[in-house]
Amino acid sequence: MPSPKAKNSGRGSPVLGGANGRYEFMSLTKPLNRSSPPPPLLLQRQGSDPTTARLRLSESPTRRRGSGSSSAGQVPPPEEDGIRLNPSFARVALSSLLAVDLWMSKRLGVCACEDSAWGSVRPLMKLIEVSGHGIPWLAGAAYCLYKSDSAAGQEVMLNLLMGLLLDLILVTIVKASVRRRRPAHNRMDMFATFSVDRYSFPSGHATRAAMCGRFLLAHLVLAAPLRVLVLLWAGLVGLSRVMLGRHNVTDVVFGFGMGYCQYNLVEVLWLSPQTLQGLLGHLA
């Protein structure tokens, strides 16, 4: 018979069982020291290698969860990524403007080919296109300068010719610098094109129509009905460029603004016959 003292000592002992091949358990009733490390959760067989026990402890789920949380803490928060990836307001506005421009140009290109919605009006639009071409205007201004008898007429035709040449130079420089392609629905069947005419921005017809329209209204056309016809012609030239699919809407709008400013430059560089004779005398 075991003594009651032995039973009581067995209840309070942290070890259950003998020492030969049996397991040891930590007491559940004994308070833990907060300064000491927590007891291992793994069972250790007596006589086993302590190094193996430490390796098993390091592979515990608690350690794995801790390592996962530490590595996750190194990932930048999603707010910073969102701020870094947000484009600027100017870029968004420009992209939206270009998208609207392409959409409007596609919808207004009703004469781009014979099968378009207004394909039957295409020959009339091409006639208006020729009326705003640079070659007829250069040839007409040179012919009028040659046939003019008065000094005032020669002065006007000379400056118109200078303005047309200035328009060709400036439009060529801008087109070669920007190099914007023409709309995809355009057919390259234009009258007398050059290498730079494969670019779209700005519309040379629109710049020429605006500049020549202001020139005619200021120096040649006085009657009110003719002034209305000049304004109507300039507007139809710009509209025909979009309806034929030659240009986008922004190409024509910028062309009108550029041609309007070109006339101011012609007025600044205005040449009189005396000034021209003096320049020719210095060159000779």
- Is 205 considered catalytic here? yes
- Residue 140: which of 85, 220, 204, 194 has the closest Cα? 220
Two tokens, residue 227: 């002034």
* Whole-number Å distance between alpha carbons of 112 and 90: 32
Torsion angle of alpha carbons 104, 106, 107, 110, nearest 10°?
Answer: 130
Catalytic residue among 185, 205, 219, 282: 205
**Helix (H), strand (E), coil (C) string for 98-160:** HHHHHHHHHHHCCCCCCCCCCHHHHHHHHHHHHHCCHHHHHHHHHHHHHHCCCHHHHHHHHHH
Query: To which residue do tokens 């009108």 refer?
Result: 256
User: Among 133, 185, 219, 247, which one carries the catalytic annotation?
Assistant: 247
User: Residue 32 phi/psi, 5° resolution?
Assistant: -90, 145
Say how far apart CA 188 and CA 166 lie, in whole Å.
25
The C-alpha atoms of residue 139 and residue 263 are separated, in whole angstroms, by: 19
Taking the C-alpha atoms of residue 193 and residue 190, their distance in angstroms, rounded to an integer, is: 6
Residue 133 known to be catalytic: no
Q: What positions carry a catalytic annotation? A: 205, 247
